[in-house]
Chain A
Amino acid sequence: MPAPFMITSCRHSRPRMAFRKELRMKESQEKRSRRWIAFVYLGLLVLVIPWYWPGGDVRQVLGFPLWSLATLGAVFATSLFTAWVYWTSDDTN
């Protein structure tokens, strides 16, 4: 059984090759259109680690230190974004 990733073009007829080319183009367009998702995750990763918060700050709100609310807020934003990405990616890879 040939590996699905190997392009063994010599075995295929012209219409088949055209179809695969079209599929590859469609896939690469989809990949390009969703590439920004990786950049959003990088941005969120920068926010979830509280490197930007002054050390020694022990102020708190509702029992949570302020810095922890900042990082939890970033994690919750990541959860929302992740759920949205999964929810809207039924028809793409």
Chain B
Amino acid sequence: MFDVLPFGIGAWFFVAIYLCSLILIGWFGYNARREDTLRDFYLGGQGFGFFVLFLTLYATQYSGNTIFGVAGATYREGFGWLIAVHYMLAMIVCYLIFAPKLHTLARARGYVTPVDFVRERFGSPPLSLLASIVMIVALNNYLLAQLMTMGRVLQGFAGPYGDVAYNYGVLGLTLIMVIYGTLGGIRAIAWTDVLQGGVLMLGFLVLLAMLIQQFGPLSAATEAIATSANVARIAPPDADMQRQWLSYILIVGLGGALYPHAIQRIYAAKSKRVLNRSMAVMAFLPFTTALIAVVAGIYALAYIPGLEGAATDQAMARVLRVVQESSALGYGLVVLIFSAVLAALMSTADSAMLSISSMFTKDIYSVHFSPTAPESGLTRIGKRCSWAVLAALAVLAILLKDQTSLITLIDRKFDVLVQLVPAFMIGIHWPGLKTGPTLTGLVAGLIVALSLAFGPFDFVVGGKVWGFHPGLYGLAVNLAIAVGGSLSPRKS
């Protein structure tokens, strides 16, 4: 994917220093621990203040996909992919539904994992177990995709030795991540997120300045597209695309707000005031990240024509290659951008890793296998779980190196995550939501969503039915059962 971007020894040195600093931060996090408990390891004890919480939310929400995926999609769809700005904001809006209240409950009741809330609210072991499985499966898929993208980024750094670099890249970055993650837990990960979020924010701003300096104003790029065969890509979206916009806003907004690692950051806020202030600032970040990625895709569409199919994902790399070759300053800036990409990937992956380990330890191992285990023992199990999960996913990422279609097939995380909307977003406000209908709705929603996504149906086009994601059809069924069943006069 990125074999168009060879780098020299100076770039490698810069990246090595950056990676070593992450391990050093992990060591500081290890020394800063106050007690050997799950809450301290996974939520940072008393919680984070505004600066750390804001940057860890930012670094976690924006992954490498925001930079490369959005630019590639814009190359294919044109300005129609402005939807990336909308759905990144939709997540922040959907947090309003439940995050402030969940934070208050979590602080009062000592929640560590998202499922702690479900367990206490519904008191149903099957519902809690299913919610854990849904979240763990979705996060494993997400983590695998991040590891594979890490390998591809390193592939780009290595030039002609791309294939070898992919393998070493996945193994090396995974090892660094698991070291600092298991050393200092959430504290280390949030502190590395401060560095990674800072690099990411700077990277996006540099990218915008670099694009304008290299290619000229955006108006010239849009004009070039308007006079080419791609003129349709600057026209307003048609009816089908408008339905897709609504679908993306709903599924990414609702599903993204239920990312377990994001919910744990809600728990980790020092106070509701800190959480609200962080979210208020986050509401503007789609304009400094997703919108810049869309603009980069427009520049690529205007000045680097001819990319088709999967090659469109190289749009950003091709743009960077042009900048890199223009001057020594351009070369340095491109190295910074790639560091920002690594930062985005690692900050998302390490958070997912920690969240999987916490849910396995607290929601599955502690509840079903060893209810009397001490907190220090559970923390140890959690660390071993992080090593085991990352080892398995790193091997899988190497085995699936050339099988990207498989990743596409299993990339249904939002379709399954969104099925937890009734349990979290309705359950937290409506005491009348009953356990039985919620569990039945969740099962039915998952069956509908996965059947539509993977079944041999002619009416499913591009993974969507009439422009809407399968997960939303599942959610409609899920909601009807959960709410209808709870309103029914029959006892549950």
Contact = CB atoms under 8 A, between A and B. Distances in A.
Contacts of B287: 76, 79
A56 B236 CA distance: 7
A63 to B, nearest CB: 3
Interface in B255-287: 272-273, 276-277, 279-281, 283-284, 286-287
Given A3-B121, A79-B283, A58 B96 contact: no
B236 A89 contact: no
A6 B82 CA distance: 44
Contacts of B79: 64-65, 68
Interface in B84-142: 85-86, 89, 92-93, 96, 100-101, 104-105, 109, 120-123
A31 to B, nearest CB: 8
Given A75-B286, A89-B276, A82 B92 contact: yes
22 contacts: A7-B431, A49-B249, A51-B242, A54-B236, A56-B235, A58-B235, A60-B222, A63-B220, A64-B79, A67-B236, A68-B79, A71-B86, A78-B89, A78-B93, A79-B283, A79-B284, A79-B286, A79-B287, A82-B93, A86-B277, A86-B283, A90-B273
B236 A57 contact: yes
Given A5-B431, A63-B219, A75-B286, A86 B85 contact: no
B105 A4 contact: yes
With a 10 A CB-CB cut-off, give which of A51, A63, A72, A76 has the most chain B CB atoms: A63
Contacts of A10: none
Given A78-B93, A86-B277, A5 B121 contact: yes
Given A72-B82, A86-B276, A64 B246 contact: no
B238 interface: yes
Most chain-B CB neighbours within 10 Å: which of A37, A56, A76, A79? A79
B381 interface: no
Contact of B231 (A6, A58, A80): A58
A72 to B, nearest CB: 7
A48 B236 contact: no
Interface in A15-67: 37, 41, 45, 48-51, 53-58, 60, 62-65, 67
Interface string B207-220: 00000000001111
Q: Choose among B89, B92, B234, B286 the residue with the greatest number of A CB atoms under 10 Å from its CB.
A: B234
B283 A53 contact: no
B62 interface: no
B104 A93 contact: yes
A81 to B, nearest CB: 9
Contact of A85 (B86, B96, B273): B96
A53 B93 CA distance: 25
A89 B100 contact: yes
Contact of B249 (A45, A72, A79, A85): A45
A49 B240 CA distance: 12
A85 B7 CA distance: 46
Contact of A41 (B93, B231, B238, B298): B93
Contacts of A3: 120-123
A62 B221 CA distance: 10
B226 interface: yes
- Considering residues B86, B220, B242, which has the most beta carbons from chain A within 10 angstroms of its beta carbon? B86
Nearest to A52: B236
Contacts of A56: 235-236
A49 to B, nearest CB: 5
Nearest to B281: A83
Task: Kindly list the 4 A-B residue pairs having the minimum CB-CB distance in the complex, ordered from nearest.
Answer: A63-B218, A63-B219, A86-B280, A83-B280
Contacts of B123: 3
A61 to B, nearest CB: 8
A82 B218 contact: no
A75 B234 contact: no
Nearest to B273: A90
B294 to A, nearest CB: 9
Among B276, B281, B283, the most chain A Cβ lie within 10 Å of the Cβ of B283
Nearest to B85: A75
Contacts of B279: 82, 86
A24 B272 CA distance: 20
A81 B167 CA distance: 46
Nearest to A67: B236
A23 B272 CA distance: 19
A12 to B, nearest CB: 16
- Of B237, B286, B287, chain A has the most CB atoms within 10 Å of the CB of B237
